[in-house]
Amino acid sequence: MLGCAPRLDMPPIADRGPVVVTGGAGAIGAPLVRSLLEDGHEVRVLDNLSSGRRESLGRMLDNSGVRLEIVDIRSLDSIRKSFSGAKAVWHLAANPDIRLGTADPRVDLEHGTLGTFNVLEAARTNDVPRVLFSSSSVVYGLPEVFPTPESYGPLLPQSLYGASKLASEAMISAYAHSYGLEGHIFRFANIIGPGMTHGVIYDFFEKLRKEPKRLEVLGDGRQSKSYLRVDDCVSAMRLAEAKSRERVNVFNLGTTDRVSVREIAELIVAAHGGHARIEYMGGERGWPGDIPQQLLDVARIQALGFRPALSSLAAVELTIRELASARHR
């Protein structure tokens, strides 16, 4: 029988074997790859380089323990052999742009839901015992409870992106219970740091680059969310991997404070010399599918000992400083 009981008596599955990281050239994937390498893993990075970049892996690619394979996750045949002998798969590959998924609903079905199915099939048919997945707070839809716990329901996502994350979670749970994999599901707050290709901070910098005197803000600026620095995100995932031995392990990953869009806009304008005029377009949401309020209950990951190095505000400020500094180089 496949039960849900904690398996705290089991040793961690082979600590130093080869692991697969899908989306490993992305903004979260690359620091994760670094962390895994530092722990002595051989890392097979699968990425289609659509938003991930080879440069994000930098000198890690000189390490004989890292192999970058440019593949399309929509094709099971193109990824299956990379899973041979792997001890775990970290599945981070996805369309990162929620709005693109609304414009073309097939994007999240194929790169999200079908991609996860292919990862799970590649894991199952290669006897990979552990799957770790980057889900998102957007599975909660518009929650009525803040901070929102992992047990919140009903789960009614607002976007096709959110639907593909929930569909992926559901398949991971089913594979875990049907075929004996161990599943880890991480529901991310907004993850920020170097290498971002989307998100409000990145978008505001792009807007000011094109039009330095005016910053158009979608919504009324009162959307307020928690942010987690990417290094903290990686630390939390590695901690959960090391300490969680249930059949399916679900963790919110975030901080306990929030930052509003208005605060972010003002910080970014200040970092640009304070000359731009901020214009709010109005409305509670930035765009259809936007989740205006987000704050996750992170008691579960805290109970494992997790304390983020940076609060939401500190993470936002650091990320803005980095982007402003890069702009001046």
* Per CB under 8 A, 221 contacts a second copy: no
The rounded distance, in Å, linking the Cα atoms of 263 and 274 is 13
The rounded distance, in Å, linking the Cα atoms of 231 and 12 is 23
CB 178 within 8 A of CB 240: no
Q: Which string of x and - marks every residue 285-324 that binds a second copy (by CB under 8 A)? A: x--xx-----------------------------------
Residue from 53, 197, 199 nearest 136 by CA: 199
* Collapsed DSSP state (helix, strand, coil) of residue 217: strand
Residues 13-52 that bind a second copy (CB under 8 A): none
Q: Which stretch binds a second copy (CB under 8 A): 80-88, 134-142, 196-204, 220-228?
A: 134-142
Q: CB of residue 263 vs a second copy: minimum separation in angstroms?
A: 23
* Per CB under 8 A, 141 contacts a second copy: yes
Q: CB of residue 25 vs a second copy: minimum separation in angstroms?
A: 27
* Per CB under 8 A, 127 contacts a second copy: no
Binding-site size, a second copy (CB under 8 A): 47
* Per CB under 8 A, 150 contacts a second copy: yes
- Nearest CB to a second copy, comparing residues 40 and 288: 288
- Nearest CB to a second copy, comparing residues 19 and 139: 139
Q: CB of residue 1 vs a second copy: minimum separation in angstroms?
A: 6
* Per CB under 8 A, 174 contacts a second copy: yes
* Per CB under 8 A, 94 contacts a second copy: no
Kind of pairing between the strands at 224-225 and 259-260: antiparallel
Q: Dihedrals φ, ψ of 127, to 5°?
A: 55, 40
* Per CB under 8 A, 97 contacts a second copy: no
Instruction: Indicate which single residue of 78, 173, 256, 260 sits in contact with a second copy (rule: CB under 8 A).
Output: 173
* Per CB under 8 A, 126 contacts a second copy: no
Instruction: Indicate which single residue of 113, 223, 294, 311 sits in contact with a second copy (rule: CB under 8 A).
Output: 113
For residue 54, with 0-12 CB atoms within 10 Å meaning exposed, 13-18 middle and 19 or more buried, which class applies? middle
Q: Which two tokens stand for residue 256?
A: 């306990």
* 29 contact partners, CB below 8 Å, separation of at least 6: 21, 22, 23, 45, 47, 52, 56, 90, 92, 93
Q: Which two tokens stand for residue 204?
A: 């505001």
Q: Which two tokens stand for residue 5?
A: 């009981």
- Nearest CB to a second copy, comparing residues 82 and 159: 159
* Per CB under 8 A, 6 contacts a second copy: no
Instruction: Indicate which single residue of 83, 90, 133, 152 sits in contact with a second copy (rule: CB under 8 A).
Output: 152
* Collapsed DSSP state (helix, strand, coil) of residue 7: coil
* Collapsed DSSP state (helix, strand, coil) of residue 267: helix
- Angle (deg, nearest 10), helices 312-328 and 200-210: 30
Q: What angle do CA 321, 23, 123 make, to 5 degrees?
A: 150
Contacting residues toward a second copy, per CB under 8 A: 1-2, 4, 102, 105, 109, 113-114, 117, 120-121, 124, 139, 141-142, 150-164, 166-167, 169-171, 173-175, 177-178, 248, 250, 283-285, 288-289
